[in-house]
Amino acid sequence: MDLYYIPAACSLAAHIACLEVGLPLTCRKVEMDPAGNKVDGEDYTIINPLGLVPTIVDGDTRISEAAVVLQYIADKADGKLGDVTGDGRWKLLETLNFLATEVHKSIGPLFRPDLPAEARPFFEKLIASRLTAAQDRIGASGYLVGDSFTVADAYLFTLLGWCNFLKMDMSPWPKLGEFAQRIGSRPAVQQALKEEGLA
């Protein structure tokens, strides 16, 4: 299975998830280029027409979009990264899609150098409400879904890393800080960070 990734992008969550359960994985780094992203010097849009990560290629299967890639990995992990059958599946899907559409897409615009200064407060307010909602989803177990680590936890950890990179004041969300520290100490997370040159 090949994972196309950009260091610290949302593909980090997929990298963490695969390492967590020992899924065989070849990481293929995508180089960002104003003329179009490249992988091994070739046009990456051959792999993903939008030029985005993550993309998983597993035999004849090619999947993109973080929430779907993570669900695919959870399926391959036979329930070790979240309940992927029956009623449990819906809670995991709901959480992955909340992270993708509400948290991820709220933070993303702050990385754009062309974001108008007057738009920044709008996105900061939006992000604040989404981080509050994310914090509220952390259960008594310390995880987002159920009583153990899932692909959703890998995704939220990655998004919280973006908040740190953007130097956001995270003091209003102490539970998120505790979550990030605890998840960040997991061996698979440490390994993924090292392999992507982030630690």
For residue 156, which of 58, 170, 196 has the smallest C-alpha distance? 170
pLDDT of residue 84: 81
Q: Which domains does the chain have, with CATH numbers?
A: 2-78+189-195 (3.40.30.10), 86-186 (1.20.1050.10)
Give every residue of the chain whose pLDDT is below 70, as ranges.
none
| pLDDT given at position 13 | 98
In this prediction, residue 88 carries a pLDDT of 81
Give the global pTM: 0.96
pLDDT value for 195: 98
pLDDT at 87: 80
For position 46, what pLDDT does the model report?
96
